[in-house]
Chain A
């Protein structure tokens, strides 16, 4: 008499396998979220535009927003549509170490090839420091460290090993294992997807808070008429990505945008949390006006 669940056959066994795997992944992920929220806080506030961009979409996005911020501050300007230069008479500039590194890159002549900024050692070091700061705060995880994935990686590995052993045993005793192989592949894929979000639960909460807070600002910016000067553009880009800007602004940036493989980010779209749907509806009603 084979022990449970090996005494099950066919679809019953597959169902048991699927339910057990799903339960293990869900519990492991929930346990990890609980731990991460305890470390990073339930809704931390991030205010630096470069940190926000890195939180949303990785290191290269932080560099891109640093360049945008420098331009918004008037520290760099466009000599031609595709060439940046520092503002005359400015020896140094930028509100953060990453902005200062980006400014220095342009000052050294890098403005002629803006996309090279993503490979410049000084700039990438500064961007890595931003990323490291977010890891220290418990907002993003380094997927290759044990600390970043305690619980989930071992769980996934244990699951895969367990079911591989089961698969071999079943195969060796005769029954077909095709569907079981498919299920094993799906479980592995689900586990990898669960790992793919570089943000911790705290990081997701922080980004969600930003998107809700900046929702009206995003609507205002995206509806701005052509030629408007938009003081919110840098922060809106940091929170939502370049797609949130109106067309007349978006078209100015393709030549200095990073490539999409931005070092652990999720791209400029939503990742783990969607765009804000608005809070309080369109405005707060009549308030208390008499």
Chain B
């Protein structure tokens, strides 16, 4: 099967982009919607999501579950996602390998937990429960972090791979998050990519960020979703397409400081080109050395 033929590229749906997306929906293969903003939506508001899901595949993307935690994810959050999935009928839903609260403290942000066997076990339990409540397993996304989580005994790729294998869950590989972590903690981005469980990657995010600096002049790359994806992210996408045996669904994320809509669609097109180049490279290699291929579900 030609997995490249089933690669898809789309855009993160935002209210600020809704009008342009309505007028040019044919430019995209898929739309991704931030689920948490729709949990309390009225029937009338949800009619828009249902309308979109009839015209184009829609994926729901959650940000508030905090699945990758030694603590148990609240049942109410799983129920909220389950209700939304039932009402909207998306083709998939995703969440993050992050914790977002502890006890009564709401952090309000996606944070990397200590990467250790205890959080692996906690994440797997939470993911399995989430899959049982919602009806399907979530696709799980790696997060960017500005500080290496303390009390960690595992590296990020190993930690991610253990969780996904034990939970039998697919991965949403955020290439800018991967790139930011590689830059911030002294890894080679290409090698970091290779170390991830690429055989589980079915979805990809592309986004951008900016350098931030402490008072002492220490620089880190912040994944803020307010900037264009940098060249290295598209290079990583091409590399991923060359390595992956799965069909890939790629979503461009932008949360603000929106450029013109043509700029966003040009970035979507650039992603298509990167995917095609990667697949072509893989085809050239496999014509020399055949490999087994698999298609996404």
Interface residues of A (CB under 8 A from B): 41-43, 45, 47, 205, 208-210, 212-217, 232, 235, 277-281, 283-290
Contact = CB atoms under 8 A, between A and B. Distances in A.
A208 B44 contact: yes
Contact of B110 (A42, A212, A214, A288): A288
B175 to A, nearest CB: 13
A279 B49 CA distance: 10
Contact of A212 (B45, B141, B146, B174): B45
Nearest to B15: A216
Tell me what chain A mostly uses at the interface: helix, strand, loop, or mixed. Answer: loop
Contacts of A217: 18-19
A288 B253 contact: yes
Contact of B15 (A42, A47, A209, A215): A215
A276 to B, nearest CB: 8
Interface centre among A43, A47, A213, A289 (most CB of B within 10 A): A289
A213 B63 contact: no
Interface stretch (B21-29, B65-73, B149-157): B21-29
B294 interface: no
Contacts of B213: none
Given A208-B44, A284-B255, A289 B22 contact: no
A216 B174 CA distance: 28
5 shortest A-B CB distances, which residue pairs? A290-B144, A43-B51, A290-B223, A280-B37, A287-B255
B47 A208 contact: yes
Tell me what chain B mostly uses at the interface: helix, strand, loop, or mixed. Answer: mixed
B177 interface: yes
Given A283-B256, A288-B253, A216 B38 contact: no
B243 interface: no
Nearest to B20: A217
B63 A288 contact: yes
B277 to A, nearest CB: 26
B121 to A, nearest CB: 24
Given A287-B34, A290-B177, 15 more contacts: A41-B54, A43-B51, A45-B51, A213-B48, A214-B18, A216-B19, A278-B15, A279-B18, A279-B41, A280-B38, A284-B255, A287-B12, A289-B209, A290-B143, A290-B144
A168 to B, nearest CB: 44
Contacts, number: 122
B108 A286 contact: yes
11 contacts: A42-B54, A205-B51, A213-B21, A215-B15, A283-B255, A283-B256, A284-B255, A288-B143, A288-B207, A288-B225, A290-B146
Interface of B: 12, 14-16, 18-19, 21-23, 25, 34, 36-38, 41-42, 44-45, 47-48, 50-51, 54-55, 61, 63, 96, 108-110, 141, 143-146, 174, 177, 180, 205, 207, 209, 222-226, 253, 255-256
Contacts of B146: 290
A282 B224 CA distance: 18
B205 to A, nearest CB: 8
A194 B17 CA distance: 35
Contacts of B15: 215-216, 278-280, 283-284
A279 B38 contact: yes
B181 to A, nearest CB: 9
Contacts of A214: 18-19, 22
B19 to A, nearest CB: 4
B174 to A, nearest CB: 7
Given A42-B54, A288-B143, A279 B110 contact: no
Contact of A43 (B16, B18, B21, B47): B47
B188 to A, nearest CB: 20
A290 B18 contact: no
A290 B51 CA distance: 31
A24 to B, nearest CB: 26
Contacts of B223: 288-290
Contacts of A289: 209, 222-226, 255
B150 to A, nearest CB: 17
Contacts of B34: 280, 284-285, 287
Contact of B19 (A41, A232, A283, A285): A232
Contacts of A212: 18, 44-45, 47-48
B18 A213 contact: yes
A290 B19 CA distance: 27
